[in-house]
Amino acid sequence: MPHKIMDFRSDTVTRPSDEMRRAMALAEVGDDIYEDDPTSNELNRYAAELTGKEAAIFACSGTMGNLLAFLTAGSHGESLLAGKRSHVWCAEVGGFSAIAGMCPYPLTDDDGIPKPEEIAAQNRADGNIHHPQTTILALENTHNYTGGIAVPPDKFAAAARAGKSLGFHVHLDGARIFNAAVRCGVDVKEFTKEVDSVQFCLSKGLGAPLGSMLCGTRDFIERAKRWRKRIGGAQRQLGIAAAGGLYALKNNIERLAEDHDNARYLAELLKKGGVPVEEVPGMTNMIFFPLKDGQVSDDDFEKKCLEKGMLAHMIEPRRVRLVTHIDIDREDVERAAAIVLEVLSA
């Protein structure tokens, strides 16, 4: 029997398991806009409980969850501090300025998190009539573009507290915050207690087909709900999607450790074969390595990997990202390492 195509492009590619599909098919539903969808209400309650917040709402995507936070906590012409390599800055099509009307100030986040001193130095909440007043600090954990780094609780808290002490709304883009919690061996509240709002994705390593949760105070979430309605993100029989999310949160958090082990194993196998895999502290479920001068072109790398049975992703020119997830097992990792080494040596 031919092998399946192994998909290492992202953890967004996970397919819902049979059990998750069953939970979704059988979900009790209502109309979430009337707030009488019991499964959606239960997901909101459960997400708020897990993150230690008063309330939560479902967003269609992580991008929408982050945007709702910015729309709710900020205003046109105010400034938002975010890392230069953060997802909100690099990969959300400029939504914070295009839609929320905010003016971004970049922070250095090459280690996955900006330094407290730099947060203070970029502050424009100084009453100066010329300045766009800073109102939001956006942090990210795990930090995708720098290597899937799980920023440890103490470093994370230092950055968040620097923002709080200046009176900013501190938002966590926690698309993969459960990967960070599992990697650091702490309850997710160790991170979420430091921030005013958090967005996390159900649709990545947790294995649900869609959706993200935005969590915060009751008042904040009530206001975010209006924004969600305004931008067309409110849903009706949401319980079908919510059931997938609930299943993911109840079954798939602890197992993220397997994805981290598999990524580490993949890195080891590639390094043994001479591939200069990027070394990062707090590595989670993704590995990165450069294509050297004289090696295959970016397009050929993807094409030749696919011919041999795996999908890989060039996250930037000459930089490969491979991600492990619930549909990748140890045997897949061994096959993938062999394929990559073969393609690179050709």
Residues making contact with ligand PLP (CB under 6 A): 61-63, 87, 140, 144, 173, 175, 201, 203, 212
C-alpha–C-alpha distance, residues 51 and 273, integer Å: 41
Q: How far apart are CB 92 and ligand PLP at their closest, in Å?
A: 7
Q: How far apart are CB 209 and ligand PLP at their closest, in Å?
A: 11
Q: How far apart are CB 295 and ligand PLP at their closest, in Å?
A: 27
Return the number of the residue (241 or 269) whose C-beta is nearest ligand PLP: 241
Q: Where are the beta strands (DSSP E) in the chain?
A: 6-7, 55-59, 79-83, 103-107, 134-140, 169-173, 197-201, 212-216, 286-290, 310-311, 313-316, 319-323
Return the number of the residue (62 or 239) whose C-beta is nearest ligand PLP: 62
Return the number of the residue (151 or 339) whose C-beta is nearest ligand PLP: 151
Return the number of the residue (150 or 344) whose C-beta is nearest ligand PLP: 150
Return the number of the residue (196 or 337) whose C-beta is nearest ligand PLP: 196
- Give the bridge partners for 287, in sequence order: 322
Buried b (16+ CB within 10 A) or exposed e, 102-139: bbbbebebebbbbbbebbeebbbeeeeeeebbbbbbbb
Handedness of CA 207, 208, 209, 210 (dihedral sign): negative
Q: How far apart are CB 9 and ligand PLP at their closest, in Å?
A: 12
Q: How far apart are CB 57 and ligand PLP at their closest, in Å?
A: 15
Return the number of the residue (62 or 153) whose C-beta is nearest ligand PLP: 62
Return the number of the residue (175 or 240) whose C-beta is nearest ligand PLP: 175
Give the helix ranges, DSSP H, for 29-171.
38-51, 62-73, 87-90, 95-98, 116-121, 153-165
Return the number of the residue (175 or 344) whose C-beta is nearest ligand PLP: 175
Q: How far apart are CB 235 and ligand PLP at their closest, in Å?
A: 15
C-alpha–C-alpha distance, residues 169 and 183, integer Å: 26
Q: How far apart are CB 214 and ligand PLP at their closest, in Å?
A: 12
- Give the bridge partners for 80, in sequence order: 104, 136
C-alpha–C-alpha distance, residues 331 and 271, integer Å: 18
User: Is residue 196 within 8 Å of residue 171, measured between CB atoms?
Assistant: yes
Q: Give Cβ neighbours of residue 213 (< 8 Å, ≥ 6 apart).
A: 43, 44, 47, 51, 56, 57, 58, 59, 65, 199, 200, 202, 245
Return the number of the residue (92 or 344) whose C-beta is nearest ligand PLP: 92
* DSSP three-state, residue 331: helix
| Lookup result for tokens 């971004």 | 104
Cis, bond preceding 63 (omega within 30 deg of 0): no
Q: How far apart are CB 203 and ligand PLP at their closest, in Å?
A: 6
Q: Write the burial class of residue 346 (CB in 10 Å: 0-12 exposed, 13-18 middle, 19+ buried).
A: exposed
Q: How far apart are CB 24 and ligand PLP at their closest, in Å?
A: 18
